[in-house]
Chains A and B, each alone.
Chain A
Amino acid sequence: MTGETESYTRRAVLGGVAGATAFATVPLLVRRAEATPETMKAAIHRVIGESPVRKGKVTLDIPPLVENGNTIAMSVAVDSPMTESDYVKAIHVFNEKNPQPDIISVHLGPRAGKAAFSTRIRLADSQNVVAIAELSDGSLWSDTAEVIVTIAACLEYN
């Protein structure tokens, strides 16, 4: 009787160890395909070149705390008169820790009337999201938002 209890306990312990290993594997899988702040910087340079980016004019609206990383409402607005001589050419959005650093690039013109758009994005981890606006005069403006994600995207295995 005592022996049986002991073996049961041992099995429970072994099961616990196996469970812990499975949990430990998940962050490793995520890290393998993870972009880093460096890859985000590289992606930004690839898209907009080496020109200096100033803070301001751009408003990146994204919830600071999200439960589900699979769909996060995001909107970007740029303070611009949107006239023939002064308009927003493009808005690029990047992330730090998804497997790929790019999120979306939108191309606008003076006919947009208002330099803003909304979409829904995926985030694999808590991280910073950066929006950069490219104006018609060539200047670049940005805004950064920190997002905390409780359930990450890209983790579900069907």
Chain B
Amino acid sequence: MARTLVNVPPKAKRGQVIEIKTLISHVMETGYRRNESGAPIPRDIINLFTCTYNGTEIFRADLHQAIAANPFISFFTVATQSGTLQFQWTDDNGQVETASAKITVE
């Protein structure tokens, strides 16, 4: 569906608050625009974004049409243990895009 880009620090100290940045390429079609022939372009947005850290959900966002195309979301989490962060974007058509990043906690 789309290209994704996630930025997670590869290493962190235990208990450190780290910033996570995510980006996905998506038109985020609002459903309010029309094409050349005047027909409405159907709505197609990413409506859900979740992030899990070793299987536990640490961040979830419900997105609406007011989110700009190619949604960028940044947030924070506490580096608790080494492992994997899983990212998941779901759009109106039910298509799911995933990404993951590894982190080493010392």
A positions within 8 Å CB-CB of B: 33, 70-72, 95, 98-100, 102-109, 111-114, 116-123, 153-154, 156-158
Known: A111-B78, A114-B17, A154-B30. A121 touches B68 (CB 8 A): yes
State which residues 63-82 of B face A: CB under 8 Å: 63-69, 71-78, 80
Contacts of A122 in B (CB 8 A): 30, 65-68
CB pair A157 B56 closer than 8 Å: no
Give the residues in chain A near B62, CB-CB below 8 Å. Answer: 102, 104-106
Looking at the complex, which one of B35, B36, B65, B74 makes contact with A98 (CB distance below 8 Å)? B65
What separation, in Å, do the CA atoms of A114 and B58 have in the docked complex? 12
Q: Once bound together, how far apart are the Cα atoms of A33 and B43, in whole Å?
A: 14
Name A111's contact: one of B35, B64, B69, B77 (CB within 8 Å): B77
Residue numbers in B under 8 Å from A156 (CB-CB): 33
B14 within 8 A of A: no
Min Cβ gap B52→A in Å is 11
Contact of A102 among B35, B53, B64, B80 (CB under 8 A): B64
Q: A33-B32, A117-B73, A119-B71 are in contact. Are A109 and B58 (CB under 8 A)?
A: yes
Point out the residue from A100, A103, A118 that lies within 8 Å of B72, measured CB to CB: A118
B34 touches A112 (CB 8 A): no
Total interface residues on B, CB under 8 Å, equals 31
Chain B residues with CB below 8 A from A123, complex form: 66
Interface pair A98/B59, CB less than 8 Å apart: no
Does B61 have its Cβ within 8 Å of any Cβ on chain A?
Answer: yes
Flag if B61 contacts A112 (CB, 8 Å).
Answer: no
Q: Is B3 an interface residue (CB 8 A)?
A: no
Interface set of B (CB-CB < 8 Å, partner A): 17-18, 30, 32-36, 53, 56, 58-69, 71-78, 80
Q: Using CB atoms, name the residue of chain B closest to A118.
A: B74
If the complex has contacts A112-B76, A117-B74, are A100 and B66 also in contact, measured as CB distance less than 8 A? yes
Question: Which residue of the partner chain, among B30, B33, B67, contacts A119 with CB atoms under 8 Å?
Answer: B67
**Minimum C-beta distance from A37 to chain B (A):** 16
Given contacts A98-B65, A99-B30, A107-B59, contact A117 B75 (CB under 8 A): yes
Given A105-B62, A108-B59, A108-B75, 17 more contacts at CB 8 Å? A70-B69, A71-B68, A100-B66, A103-B64, A103-B66, A106-B60, A106-B62, A111-B80, A112-B77, A116-B75, A118-B72, A118-B73, A118-B74, A118-B75, A120-B72, A154-B30, A154-B32
